[in-house]
Amino acid sequence: MTVDQPPTPGSALWVLAHPRPDSLNGHLFRAGVEALSRDHDVATSDLYALGFDPVLGARDLGDLADRPGNLAALAGEAYARGQTSPDVRAEHEKIARAELLVLQFPLWWYGPPAILKGWLDRTFTDGFAYDTELDPAHGLPRRYGDGGLTRRKALVVVTVGEDERTLGPRGISGDLDSLLFPLTHGALWYVGIEALDLHVVHDADTLDAKGAAREVSRLQERLAGIDTERARPFRRLRDGDYPSALRALHPDLLPGRTDLGIHRVEAPGSLDVPA
């Protein structure tokens, strides 16, 4: 079973996925970490600077490297045996401590860079971040709002080359919240981490020095109030909105809608209850 990883109050982990320190992302990273460090204990993982290997492979399986079977399950068993790779173990220690997780990256081909996806592949380990076994209290696996990394929030800081309309609900490139649903829901919420509203830097490729300075200030202002921000939570698996026989949202909840917004908890007073 998953061992809960209680966070240390006031601690944060800032993960950066950009190869150039002199880029806009590099400037935002340094300014953001400095600002957040005024009232938080901030650890960092600059993935390119660390030379982090994003490829889940044999070294993640310990003595089980030659055993056939599901790779995620084998990595979880290796974790339980204390055979986690040293680079992943170092990330586990930082993740377990952090009350706030900041994930910063440029949008490449409508998703995070491969190095960040690989960081998730290797560090959100079965038994550390989630559990495939059934929780006897609910008869469900500890996933989607439950698991090893509850009581945490995440801020996703993403730079994009397009404007707000192009990446909006009716934009040709698709709605950014929906594009990043695999990250905010499929990864973060899966292990119990609540994602705050995205922090988006639009038109990042064409910003001049004045525009870059404005974005640095806007990020610093966001971070100054980050502890009081409330997330817009997704639905928890354990609350019964997804009957196990259906493996889908209850048909009486928001009937007729198929957008990804149906997986968020609706505002109080809405018709978000079974008939």
Residues 6+ apart with CB under 8 A from 163: 202, 203
**How far from the centroid of its chain's Cα atoms is residue 71's Cα?**
21
Is position 179 within any domain?
A: yes
Give the global pTM: 0.93
Asked if residue 176 lies in contact with residue 160, where contact means CB atoms within 8 angstroms, the answer is: yes
Is position 63 within any domain?
A: yes
**C-alpha span between 75 and 56 (Å, rounded):** 9
Side chain identity at residue 195, one-letter code: A
Is position 274 within any domain?
A: yes
Instruction: Give the model's confidence band at 2: pLDDT under 50 very low, under 70 low, under 90 confident, else very high.
Output: low
Q: How many domains does the chain have?
A: 2
**C-alpha span between 227 and 258 (Å, rounded):** 33
Is position 150 within any domain?
A: yes
Per-residue pLDDT for 269 more than 50? no
Same structural domain for residues 235 and 259? no
Same structural domain for residues 191 and 272? no
Per-residue pLDDT for 135 more than 80? no
Whole domain around residue 264: which residue ranges?
Answer: 244-275
**C-alpha span between 48 and 21 (Å, rounded):** 10
Instruction: Give the model's confidence band at 99: pLDDT under 50 very low, under 70 low, under 90 confident, else very high.
Output: very high
What is the tens place of the pLDDT at every residue in 44-93? 999 999 999 999 999 999 999 999 999 999 999 999 999 999 999 999 99
Same structural domain for residues 226 and 273? no
Is position 35 within any domain?
A: yes
pLDDT at 127: 93
pLDDT at 137: 73
Same structural domain for residues 95 and 183? yes
pLDDT at 273: 43
pLDDT at 275: 36
Q: At what angle do helices 114-123 and 86-97 cross, to 10 degrees?
A: 80
Same structural domain for residues 134 and 203? yes
Same structural domain for residues 41 and 135? yes
Same structural domain for residues 89 and 195? yes
Same structural domain for residues 139 and 215? yes
Is position 2 within any domain?
A: no
pLDDT at 3: 63
Same structural domain for residues 162 and 185? yes
Same structural domain for residues 260 and 212? no
Same structural domain for residues 187 and 269? no
172: CATH:
3.40.50.360
Same structural domain for residues 38 and 132? yes
Side chain identity at residue 131, one-letter code: D
Is position 4 within any domain?
A: no
**C-alpha span between 115 and 105 (Å, rounded):** 10
**C-alpha span between 33 and 14 (Å, rounded):** 7
Is position 1 within any domain?
A: no
